[in-house]
Amino acid sequence: MMSPLLKNAAPAVVTAFALLFLSLTVQGAIIIVGQDAKYCRIQDAIDSASSGDEIEVENGTYAENVEVSKPIKLIGIGNPVVDANGLGCAIVLSADGAVLEGFHVINSNQAGIKVTSYGNIIKNNSASGNSIGIDLLNSNNNLLRDNLMDDNLADFEAMFLRYDLSFDNDIDTSNLVGGKPIYYVVNASDKVIDKSSNAGVVYCIGCKNVSVRGLELRKNAMGIILVNCNHSILENNIIQQNKGGGIFLQSSQNNIIKNNSILDNDRAGIFISASYNNTVINNTISNDIYGIFLLGSSYNILERNIVSRNREGLKLFQGCIGNNILGNEFLENEIGISVKNSFGNQIFLNNFESNIRQADPGSNNFWNSTEPKTYSYMGKISTDYMGNFWSGYTDGEDMDDGLGDKPFDLDPEKDWHPLISKYRTYELKKPIGDALDIYHP
């Protein structure tokens, strides 16, 4: 009969208990690796081992790329070093049910420890000087304890490229990135992760009503990751120098991302994939490849964000439908907005200033309001359709209604009602749909 404790535990915990039980009851051979032992290379010992064997690696430096391709225990005695010499991973766990304990991994141009399998135990390891310290790739039901990651380009990554996985790992706060704990939270509700947590990176998997606020998150693959989450809020965080991006939402709905400073991250400042009805408001995003990237995501609101000095300020890609993009500032990007294979998005009352190319517009989107708006401009009240402000547009500068007398040509699309002043010059008299009425001074 299963104990009540295990009956009510999360799947990853049950798996970990099962692996620990098996490791205590299934005894294989013990193989020694060391300078005076039968094996001087770790990989040679693994290749000769059988499932259930334990390989004990004596203290020393092992310049090799190790792949654990069998369910064995690989135990470091005295903290041996595995040095990848700048090529490939130091250690890869490709077999399910392995145990990795007590190693220091260095000098990988990929990952110090890369895990592509399920149900492993990884504890008391350290990683430094790698591209990524520890990397879980499509890997579930692992248990991580007391691992230290520091001085890597990105200390930690858990990346899920498959939608059929549960993302359920047991990773507690004994695992540190840059001296700060990893928060890997699964199926939580009504939880607050704030400055008092000293979190170094935050993963929320299957969570509801979680608040992540007031954190400084640096030098991981990403700063905050939400997968299958809803009604949560990410606010007032500083997210910098992460290699994969700042904030990542996947398959998540009805969340709010606001008042964050997202700077100098590779790839995307905010990446939203297969997610709906989220609000991204009042964030500052700069010096990334993509400021904001939406992939297959619809009916989101992007409002009052300052997006500057990115390769592309905003990218809508592959099936983004019905998003509202208004009141944003796209400044000094190579491309202000890029739209590919996406349609029915409303893009108006934004400022486009000093972008090398203001927009790569795609087709079948709306670059001005789809219904007339009543507004005040320089003391005069008018009712008309409203577009965007485009730096360099001069047709209609003398118009007292604040609108150009010719469309702004985006080739092939057009903004039929461009603004001749920045959007904050216009005071709207009614809110715009479900978006906040941000235009009143």
pTM above 0.75, yes or no: yes
SS3 state at 129 = coil
Instruction: Answer yes or no: is pLDDT of 104 > 90.
Output: yes
**pLDDT tens sequence across 107-125:** 999 999 999 999 999 999 9
* Per-residue pLDDT band at 228 (split at 50, 70, 90): very high
Ranges 38-47, 185-194, 421-430: which has the least confidence: 421-430
Classify residue 373: in a domain, yes or no: no
Q: Are 146 and 153 in contact (CB under 8 A)?
A: no
Instruction: Answer yes or no: is pLDDT of 26 > 70.
Output: no
Q: Per-residue pLDDT averaged across 48-63, rounded?
A: 97
Q: Between residues 159 and 333, which one has the greater pLDDT?
A: 333
Q: For residue 340, how many other CB atoms are within 10 A of its CB? A: 12
- Angle at the Cα of 383 (from 380 to 386), degrees rounded to 5? 100
Burial class (CB in 10 A: 0-12, 13-18, 19+), 91: buried
Sheet containing 373-377: order of strands: 380-384, 373-377, 426-428
**pLDDT tens sequence across 277-330:** 999 999 999 999 999 999 999 999 999 999 999 999 999 999 999 999 999 999
Question: Please, which residues bridge with residue 383 across strands?
Answer: 374
User: Residue 87's pLDDT is what?
Assistant: 96
Would you list the DSSP string of 93-123?
A: E-STT-EEES-EEE--SSEEEEE-SSS-EEE
User: Residue 1's pLDDT is what?
Assistant: 38
Classify residue 119: in a domain, yes or no: yes
Classify residue 9: in a domain, yes or no: no
SS3 state at 390 = strand
* Residue 151, domain extent: 23-178
Classify residue 438: in a domain, yes or no: no
SS3 state at 368 = coil
At residue 93, what is the residue type? L
Instruction: Answer yes or no: is pLDDT of 7 > 50.
Output: no
Gap between the Cα atoms of 102 and 125, Å rounded: 5
* Per-residue pLDDT band at 201 (split at 50, 70, 90): very high
**pLDDT tens sequence across 378-406:** 999 999 999 999 999 988 766 789 999 89
- Residue 407 DSSP class: P
Gap between the Cα atoms of 189 and 107, Å rounded: 39
Q: Per-residue pLDDT averaged across 87-92, rounded?
A: 98
Classify residue 74: in a domain, yes or no: yes
User: Residue 121's pLDDT is what?
Assistant: 98
Classify residue 174: in a domain, yes or no: yes
Q: What mean pLDDT, rounded, does the chain reach? A: 91
Nearest Cα residue to 263 out of 248, 285, 280, 243: 285
User: Residue 181's pLDDT is what?
Assistant: 98
User: Residue 160's pLDDT is what?
Assistant: 76
Gap between the Cα atoms of 312 and 59, Å rounded: 49
Instruction: Answer yes or no: is pLDDT of 20 > 80.
Output: no
Domains identified in the chain, total number: 1
SS3 state at 83 = strand
Gap between the Cα atoms of 406 and 120, Å rounded: 64
Residue 151, C-beta contacts closer than 8 angstroms, at least 6 positions apart: 128, 129
Q: Half-sphere exposure (CA, 13 Å, Cβ side) for 87?
A: 3
* Per-residue pLDDT band at 33 (split at 50, 70, 90): very high
Would you list the DSSP string of 252-312?
A: -BS-EEES-EEES-SSEEEEEES-BS-EEES-EEESSSEEEEEES-BS-EEES-EEESSSE
CATH number at residue 31: 2.160.20.10
User: Residue 164's pLDDT is what?
Assistant: 56
Q: Per-residue pLDDT averaged across 95-100, rounded?
A: 98
Cβ density class 213-241: b for 16+ within 10 Å, e for less: bbbebbbbbbbbbbbbbbebbbbebbbbb
Tokens of 232: 């949560």
Instruction: Answer yes or no: is pLDDT of 14 > 90.
Output: no
Burial class (CB in 10 A: 0-12, 13-18, 19+), 396: middle
Q: For residue 190, how many other CB atoms are within 10 A of its CB? A: 10
Classify residue 238: in a domain, yes or no: no
User: Residue 434's pLDDT is what?
Assistant: 45
Classify residue 221: in a domain, yes or no: no
